[in-house]
A = this chain, B = another copy of it.
């Protein structure tokens, strides 16, 4: 996949600026504008009950399935700032609406950065006025926007999927709650396909379930997580739902891979597959339970084929299982059969950066699911204990 990003699809312009929100002085505001002719849109937001002010605002903006622009800032999450936070999010959107001659209700906002610090509104409003002036449709414009939403990301994340006469583009940042108080995963997708809001929502829901929702770095879910998909219809092509689904899934999978690879403190990328359950949902519960188990994650960091920790972890999962008939495979090598270690299990080589773990819970059911997680490293503790103090 190329990386033309969010301005790859026709009908979208983007821009970025440095408003001075980040102490580092790097770019920290971005704007993505849908120039039409259609303005259908869909979004998925954090499941956290504690949500940031921009999430509340964007939920409202998306409620009619129409969106003309998204304003982004990094360096401040505008979360846990009370009524002032809501006012600040509205003021930001009002400024953009004014500059773009758009209704306020057609603009969403995404913020990422520290929680519980008031937004520096004089900088933010000046930045909003500025970012409108630098809009463009080139790959450089898209790339600048992708760079401006980075927090502790070390590289920009962009993706494009070219279909037959239409395409989908994306940019993203963050992963899970890897970055402490740096509220977290933001993804913006654009397409020049003509598609209704419900069609977009259907495609996005399915793609998110298979991609971002299978990424579980530390079990934390931020106050700001947002994935937005906007369709301009500028290609004049209305793909089938099936084709739209495939394109949105491909772009989400690409961004999710990039998020996992760039997760802070990561030395191992671990894919956990659970099967042999009655339902996919039970398999997912068990995979998540294992993916969040610190003892298992430490073993992965140590390249330690400690299958006993796998059994101890899944044994606590909300899933039916046959406790005496569990099998475990590390990198496709059986290390545990019928809940008992295989000869040579402790000699399996887990020194590579990618580790594949497969667990069969032994009920004979056809349920299966996977999650992608990471190891628990010294760097994780270092980054997450030293951040705000």
Interface residues of A (CB under 8 A from B): 47-51, 79-82, 84-85, 114-117, 177, 180-181, 183, 218-223, 292-295, 298-299, 301-309, 311-316, 321, 323-324, 326, 336, 338-341, 345-346, 376-378, 380-382, 384-389
Contact = CB atoms under 8 A, between A and B. Distances in A.
A220 B302 CA distance: 18
B381 A298 contact: yes
A308 B51 contact: no
A376 B377 CA distance: 11
A340 B43 CA distance: 26
A80 B293 CA distance: 18
A140 to B, nearest CB: 34
A306 B219 contact: no
A298 B378 contact: no
Nearest to A342: B116
A180 B298 contact: yes
Given A50-B312, A221-B312, A80 B304 contact: no
Contacts of A315: 48-51, 221, 223
Given A82-B338, A180-B295, A223-B315, A385 B50 contact: no
A294 B264 CA distance: 13
Contacts of A384: 294-295, 298-299, 302, 376
B219 A48 contact: no
Given A223-B315, A292-B219, A323 B378 contact: no
A182 to B, nearest CB: 10
Given A81-B340, A219-B292, A389 B48 contact: no
B339 A80 contact: yes
A291 to B, nearest CB: 12
Nearest to A308: B115
Contact of A220 (B116, B313, B377): B313
Interface centre among A177, A220, A312, A385 (most CB of B within 10 A): A312
A85 to B, nearest CB: 8
Nearest to A386: B302
A312 B115 contact: yes
Given A50-B326, A323-B50, A381-B301, A79 B116 contact: no
8 contacts: A48-B312, A50-B315, A80-B308, A80-B339, A114-B308, A115-B311, A116-B311, A180-B306
A14 B104 CA distance: 77
Nearest to A301: B385
Contact of A299 (B180, B311, B324): B180
A345 B388 CA distance: 12
Contacts of A309: 115, 180-181
A341 B298 contact: no
Given A116-B307, A302-B385, A339-B50, A293 B220 contact: yes
A307 B292 CA distance: 22
Contacts of A338: 82
Contacts of A339: 50, 80, 82
A114 B82 CA distance: 50
A82 B324 contact: yes
Contacts of A303: 389
Contacts of A116: 307-308, 311, 336, 340-341, 345
A83 B219 CA distance: 35
A220 B294 contact: yes
For A85, A298, A378, which residue has the most chain B Cβ atoms within 10 angstroms?
A298
